Structures are given as structure tokens and as C-alpha cells.
Amino acid sequence: MAKPRVVVVRSAKGWAAGGDPDPALITRMFARGFALLDGASDGKAAAAALFRPDDRIGIKVNTIGGRALSTRPEVATALAGWLAANGPAAKNLFVWDRTTRELKSAGFAPAADRNGVKVFGTDTEGVGYAEDLVSHLNVGSLFSKILTEFVTASISLAILKDHGLAGITAGMKNYFGAIHNPNKYHDGHCDPYVAEVFDAPPVKSRHRLTILDALVVQFHKGPAYHARWAAPYGGLVFSRDPVAADAVGWDIIERLRASAGLPTLKDEGRAPGYLATAERMGLGRADLAAVETVEEAVA
């Protein structure tokens, strides 16, 4: 069986003069990431390998951390722009999270233009949560209608950061923002809940791609922002394998922690055990030796 591929695209100069990410550079990073993901000949082929022409694509961002530590709007906008330029119609792209308030606090501008990219939260009037309770393994939750009714395919565009309970927050845990009761799933270092929420039909049937916003990585004392432990990693991480993507994200955090002289997450008793659980459930590969990691710099 072929190893799942994880692509890490990095740029040491990802920021514009004002301190925000440089949109043009981020777009180039996306183009390179998609190209390396499947070896597609061009952007349209790369997009076609992931999505049907009529797919309505949800881009699930993580905006709980405010402006300092959320999926950056510039990254989501660049992704939507790249997709729209390579096949999927802009009107079929939905950037979303659980609340519009959190989206705004992270710098997103809500949008509901009929022909453009939509940006809104589950709490938007007329949206909300699907009324059928999904009972799956240890999970009993309502899922956002954005996931269950609005979109046919999903990208987890997650911020990568340390998490005091889960070990890390990355692509899989991002879907905690798709359920009504994530507070119930933080026991046991969020294990097995992260894997089981992902494995629930509303997520598993739609998820196509994980992309981690690792431009700035909070490698300690997350999930809140602490400048002291936030590193300008300058990376975007891509994978079709949700477990492998998070495993590489964990490795990035461990390397940053080591550089700062911090103990490993395992030593702190909070290794992200959900990855091994997810691997056992057949959701992907957690063992880095079984993952092909491709890293490339973009200028």
C-alpha cells in the first residue's frame, strides 16, 4: 500500500509589510501544495482530483483563537481564490465556523453574496444544527447544517497549535467546531472523541482534504495565544490523509518545542493519543515512518 503523502510548503517571507500574510505568496504556496499533493499537471487537474464539478465545498476554519491564533482570513481567502480559479465555482465555496461572532473576531468578513464565496457561522439565522442527533460510538451530537445540508465536500483548513488537553489542535479536532457540544469531548485528552467525531458520517463522508495553517505555530500553552511560545513557522501542510496531516503537525510542534528547550508532549503527559486511535479506526496513518512527507520552500 502506498504511503500517504503529506506536503509541507514553507516560506520564510510569508508576511507583507503590515505584518499580515502576503496574499500573493500564500496563493503561490497553495498552488505548490496542491501540485505536490497528487503530482497533478496543473491546478485544474489538482482540483479535479479532489472535487466533482458540482461539489459545494465547505472550508471549515478554526476561529476560536481570535485574530492572533485562528485560521487566517488571508489563508482562507487565498484557498477559495485558488479553488475558484481552478474549477469549483466561487458560489459553491463556503468558508465557515460555528459562530459568525468568532469569524469576525478572527478577522473574517461575513459574506452571503449569491454568486460569491460565502462566509458565515452555524449560528446564522436559518442555519443552525441538524435536528437529528448523531449517535456514533462515544459521540452523541448535533452537526452543523452547513456540513450536513449545505456542502457536499469538506476541507479542514485548521490552525495548528498546542492544546493543553488534546496535545495539539489540528485538522481533525477542527471538526469539534461542527458539533453543538464540543465541551463534552475533552476528557481523556479528547481521546477517542477527536477520532470518533471525525469518523461520524457527517464528517467522514464529506472530508476530502486537510490543510494546516502553520504560518505561526503556538507550540506551548495553547490553545490560547502566548507570543512567547508562538513561532513564525511559515508553513502550510496538505494531506488527503487526515491522520497523517495531524501527525506531521504534531511533529512540527515537537520540533519547535525541542528548539525552545521544552519537554515533549508525551513527557508532559498530554501526547495526542487520538492519532493512534484514529489509525486503529482506519482513518489514516499516525506513524510518521509510514508517511511520505514532502517539504518544499516557496519564495
Partner 1 sequence: MNRRGFFRQAAGAGLVLGTGLPGLGRSLAAAGAAPNLSHVEARYYVKLPDREIECRLCPRLCRLGDKERGYCGVRENDGGTYYTLVYGKVCSLNIDPIEKKPFYHVLPGRTALSLATAGCNVNCKFCQNWEIAQVRPEQVEAYDLSPGDAAARAAAASCPSIAFTYTEPTVFFEYMVDTAAQARRRGVRSLVVTSGHINPEPLGELLGVVEAVKVDLKGFTQDFYTQYVRGELKPVLETIRAVAKSKAWLEIVALLIPTLNDRMDLIREMCRWIKGEAGEDVPVHFTRFQPMYLIKNLPPTPVSTLEAARRIGLEEGLRFVYVGNVPGHEGENTYCPGCGRVVIARTGYSVDTAGLKKGKCAACGTAIPGLWT
Of the listed pieces 7-15, 19-27, 79-87, 129-137, which binds partner 1 according to CB under 8 A? 129-137
Per CB under 8 A, the list member of 223, 249, 272, 284 interacting with partner 1 is 223
Q: Rounded to the nearest whole angstrom, what is the least distance from the CB of residue 155 to partner 1 in the complex?
A: 23
Per CB under 8 A, the list member of 13, 111, 112, 140 interacting with partner 1 is 140
- How far apart, in whole angstroms, are the C-alpha atoms of residue 147 and residue 121? 11
Q: Rounded to the nearest whole angstrom, what is the least distance from the CB of residue 49 to partner 1 in the complex?
A: 35
Nearest CA to 32 out of 8, 48, 51 is that of 8
- How far apart, in whole angstroms, are the C-alpha atoms of residue 283 and residue 158? 18
Task: Give Cα 194 distance to the centre of its chain.
Answer: 13
Q: Rounded to the nearest whole angstrom, what is the least distance from the CB of residue 30 to partner 1 in the complex?
A: 28
Per CB under 8 A, the list member of 12, 42, 181, 295 interacting with partner 1 is 181
Instruction: Let me know: does 221 contact 270? Beta carbons within 8 Å.
Output: no
Phi, psi of 157 (to 5 degrees): -100, 85
Binding status of residue 54 toward partner 1 by CB under 8 A: no
Q: Rounded to the nearest whole angstrom, what is the least distance from the CB of residue 123 to partner 1 in the complex?
A: 5
Of the listed pieces 2-10, 31-39, 147-155, 222-230, which binds partner 1 according to CB under 8 A? 222-230
Those residues with Cβ within 8 angstroms of residue 61's Cβ, 6 or more apart along the chain or in another chain: 70, 71, 76, 95, 96, 97, 103, 106, 108, 157, 158, 159, 174
Binding status of residue 66 toward partner 1 by CB under 8 A: yes
Binding status of residue 128 toward partner 1 by CB under 8 A: yes
- How far apart, in whole angstroms, are the C-alpha atoms of residue 183 and residue 186? 6
Binding status of residue 221 toward partner 1 by CB under 8 A: yes
Binding status of residue 45 toward partner 1 by CB under 8 A: no
Q: Rounded to the nearest whole angstrom, what is the least distance from the CB of residue 182 to partner 1 in the complex?
A: 8
Per CB under 8 A, the list member of 28, 67, 186, 255 interacting with partner 1 is 186
Of 9 and 139, the one with the shorter C-beta distance to partner 1 is 139
Binding status of residue 261 toward partner 1 by CB under 8 A: no
Q: Rounded to the nearest whole angstrom, what is the least distance from the CB of residue 17 to partner 1 in the complex?
A: 29
Per CB under 8 A, the list member of 14, 192, 222, 272 interacting with partner 1 is 222
> How many residues at the interface with partner 1, by CB under 8 A?
30
Binding status of residue 167 toward partner 1 by CB under 8 A: no
Q: Please, what is the end-to-end C-alpha distance for the chain in angstroms?
A: 34
Binding status of residue 131 toward partner 1 by CB under 8 A: yes
Per CB under 8 A, residues contacting partner 1 are 64-66, 99, 101, 122-129, 131, 133, 135, 140, 164, 180-181, 183-184, 186-187, 221-226
